[in-house]
Amino acid sequence: MSFETLRLMAQEYADRHKEPPALPATIDTMAYAYQRICQEEDPWTALGDFSNAWYGYAKHIRPDLIKDPLTRPERETERTRHWGAFCAASVEYLCELFHQPCPKWALDRSYVLEVPWWNTLRPPDPDAQAYLRKITPLAFARRNIFCSNRLYQNKYEMYEWIHEAITKGMTDVHEIHRYARQKEISLYGA
């Protein structure tokens, strides 16, 4: 990709985000994502929609995306307990990452799982477990959830970092990518 293409993409992103976008009728809060998960929707779809709000269209109102506690279903299951803990861990993790106050509901001890949950394709593999123990963000590990440290890696930040590098005067495409990659590693790890 040429520098000019990269510059135009970054500029287009920056221009689109000068003013907060109009909010949709339904804002994808974490409480809403959990409600959808409890209604048997794919968790990654619901959490992906929340991520789009957090990083994109509603980032100017982040505290509002996480303020409401999760509404537990009448009949809890292992699935709803797992995903409730995962949602609480996500809120704590994102609050730490983006220097937001964490709502009290997300720190409730009821969101700590008794049995470790290995969110991996190879849960019984001791090597996979050892690796996940090493890379899992603390907010998840404290709740006995073991997963990737790249769960909330996103395209929005990459555009911001590319724009930032260009604003700093970088013109070499490889240097710009290195800059953005270093920012990514500093947040999410290698």
In this predicted structure, the answer to whether residue 155 has a pLDDT above a threshold of 80 is no
Rounded CA gap, 125 and 136, in Å? 16
Rounded CA gap, 78 and 56, in Å? 31
Rounded CA gap, 20 and 17, in Å? 6
Domain annotation covers residue 26: yes
Indicate the pLDDT class of residue 17, thresholds 50, 70 and 90.
low
Number of domains the chain is built from: 1
The pLDDT, as a whole number, for residue 180 is: 85
b/e code 71-94 from CB counts within 10 Å (16+ = b): eebeeeeeebbbbbbbbbbbbbbb
Range of the domain at 108: 21-151
The pLDDT, as a whole number, for residue 190 is: 63
Domain annotation covers residue 87: yes
Here the tokens at position 163 are 């724009």
Domain annotation covers residue 33: yes
Domain annotation covers residue 166: no
Rounded CA gap, 50 and 48, in Å? 5
The pTM (predicted TM-score) of the whole model is 0.81
